[in-house]
């Protein structure tokens, strides 16, 4: 069987480089071409020496990536994917966007949170939001996937079963999240400078993070009614991982066994969602370098509060791994192909 030819635009950013790392291990795909505006003409292994002898492809142009590839991953800053998506669509090629250009269904919301507009509304209507645990049926029917962000994967996966069953109130949901510094991207900034970040922890973009409308869009679809959340992200002094601790008011009569049964039924057949035993709490240590999402659930009977905690690797299930999971779906492969990696034990 001929391997899927993979192209990565923006291969030298963290998400792009992670796609290259994971594709190297994929038995049904091969890296055909990569591009980078900042490092054009340089080998990826010169940018990331860890890849030496394994991924020595030279960064070419965006046009070369489209020409040589069956599927194009765009790991670009927000606002730069729409023209590339149109080009891939015109050529009948699969396109998976790791940016936010196709995630929001409302152009008004996109304008409010990202300051942009939909260049081609018809193209946006073709896009499918690529959270496989919720939308795999729709993903199978498209060639344009809007790959979710990191927080926007962790928070919904923590809450979906409870919302689907109507076990929690739709109002008053709080998502208190913490992310490793790779979520900020490769470009240096003062808040991710080592002396500023090390031995510290701080909230940022409180009640104003761009992932807010994306999370609300997903939760509203699940609930069948508008959902608004309070979302507070924090920056952790670690490279990888997101821990999402979500709080919601329980509806009358809902018990912990009912909640556990709902989560077991919803995620029992999901290859990448691991529901932890009662009393165990999700930990970013246990999902590093993998596409797993660990979920733990608790009930505070004193305050009638439901607490759902999820842990993902923001660079894998929160970016590159989920993008490859979507590629597997598009090409009719088992979703786990190339992605079942054992996390390090220590």
Grouping H, G, I as helix, E, B as strand and the rest as coil, residue 173 is strand
CATH 3.30.360.10 placement within the chain? 151-313
Q: Give per-residue pLDDT as tens, 141-175.
A: 999 999 999 999 999 999 999 999 999 999 999 99
Helix (H) or strand (E) holding 157: helix 151-164
Q: Give per-residue pLDDT as tens, 93-110.
A: 999 999 999 999 999 999
CATH fold of 4-148+317-330 reads: Rossmann fold (3.40.50)
CATH 3.40.50.720 placement within the chain? 4-148+317-330
Question: Residue 2: is its pLDDT beyond 90?
Answer: yes
Catalytic residue annotation = 150
- CB burial of 238-276 (b: ≥16 within 10 Å; e: otherwise) equals eebbbbbbbbbebeeebeeeebbebbeebbeebbbbbbb
Q: Which two tokens stand for residue 39?
A: 């490092």
Nearest to 255 by CA among 167, 175, 147, 123: 167
Nearest to 311 by CA among 216, 244, 264: 244
Number of H helices, E strands in the chain: 12, 14
* Mean pLDDT (whole number) for 210-239: 97
Nearest to 319 by CA among 123, 143, 137, 74: 74
Distance of CA 70 to CAs 12, 32, 65, 84, 213, Å? Answer: 20, 9, 9, 14, 31
Q: What's residue 67's pLDDT? A: 97
Sequence length of the chain is 346
Dihedral, CA atoms, 129, 135, 139, 141, nearest 10 degrees? -120
Q: What's residue 56's pLDDT? A: 95
Q: Give per-residue pLDDT as tens, 32-76.
A: 999 999 999 999 999 999 999 999 999 999 999 999 999 999 999
Question: Residue 3: is its pLDDT beyond 80?
Answer: yes
Q: What's residue 189's pLDDT? A: 79
Q: Give per-residue pLDDT as tens, 333-345.
A: 999 999 999 999 9
| CATH number of this structure's domain 151-313 | 3.30.360.10
- Give 74's contacts (C-beta < 8 A, 6+ positions apart): 9, 10, 80, 81, 84, 85, 95, 96, 97, 98, 99
Distance of CA 61 to CAs 38, 48, 69, Å? Answer: 11, 19, 13
What is the CA angle 99-148-187, rounded to 5?
Answer: 40
Q: Give per-residue pLDDT as tens, 253-305.
A: 999 999 999 999 999 999 999 999 999 999 999 999 999 999 999 999 999 99
Residue 1 confidence class, pLDDT cut points 50, 70, 90: confident
Percentage above 70 pLDDT, the chain: 100
Distance of CA 84 to CAs 9, 79, 275, 318, Å? Answer: 9, 11, 38, 22
Q: What's residue 194's pLDDT? A: 84
Q: What's residue 65's pLDDT? A: 97
Q: What's residue 252's pLDDT? A: 96
Question: When comparing pLDDT for 184 and 265, which is higher?
Answer: 265
Q: What's residue 214's pLDDT? A: 97
pTM (global) more than 0.85: yes
Q: What's residue 200's pLDDT? A: 87
Residue 193 confidence class, pLDDT cut points 50, 70, 90: confident
Q: Give per-residue pLDDT as tens, 7-39.
A: 999 999 999 999 999 999 999 999 999 999 999
* Mean pLDDT (whole number) for 119-148: 97
Residue 186 near residue 241 (C-beta atoms within 8 A): no
Question: Residue 309: is its pLDDT beyond 80?
Answer: yes
């Amino acid at each position: 069987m001929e391997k899927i030819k993979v192209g990565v635009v923006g291969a030298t950013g963290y998400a792009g480089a992670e796609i290259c790392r994971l594709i190297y291990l994929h038995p049904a795909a091969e890296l055909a071409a990569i591009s980078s505006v900042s490092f054009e003409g340089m080998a990826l292994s010169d940018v990331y020496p860890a890849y030496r002898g394994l991924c020595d492809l030279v960064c070419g142009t965006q046009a070369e990536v489209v020409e040589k590839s069956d599927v194009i991953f765009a790991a670009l800053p927000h606002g730069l994917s729409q023209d590339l998506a149109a080009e891939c669509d015109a050529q009948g090629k699969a396109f998976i966007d790791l940016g936010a250009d196709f995630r929001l269904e409302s152009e008004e919301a996109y304008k409010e949170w990202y300051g942009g507009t939909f260049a081609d509304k018809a193209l946006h209507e073709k896009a499918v939001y690529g959270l496989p645990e919720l939308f795999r049926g729709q993903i199978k029917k498209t060639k344009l996937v809007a790959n979710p962000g990191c927080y926007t994967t962790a928070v919904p996966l923590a809450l979906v079963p409870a919302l689907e069953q109507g076990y929690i109130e739709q109002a008053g949901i709080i998502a208190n999240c913490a992310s490793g510094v790779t979520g900020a991207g490769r470009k240096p900034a003062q808040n991710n400078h080592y002396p500023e970040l090390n031995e510290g922890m701080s909230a940022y973009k409180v009640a104003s993070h761009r992932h807010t409308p994306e999370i609300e869009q997903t939760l509203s679809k699940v609930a069948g009614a508008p959902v608004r959340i309070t979302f507070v992200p924090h920056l952790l002094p670690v490279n990888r991982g997101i821990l999402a601790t979500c709080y919601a008011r329980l509806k009358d009569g809902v018990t912990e066994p009912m909640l556990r049964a709902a989560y077991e039924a919803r995620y029992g057949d999901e290859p990448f969602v691991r529901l932890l035993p009662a009393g165990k709490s999700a930990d970013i240590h246990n999902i590093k370098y993998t596409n797993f999402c660990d979920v733990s659930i608790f009930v505070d009977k004193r305050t009638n509060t439901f607490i759902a905690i999820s842990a993902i690797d923001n660079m894998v299930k929160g970016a590159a791994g989920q993008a490859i999971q979507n590629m597997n779906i598009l090409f009719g492969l088992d979703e786990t192909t190339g992605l079942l990696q054992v996390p390090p034990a220590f």
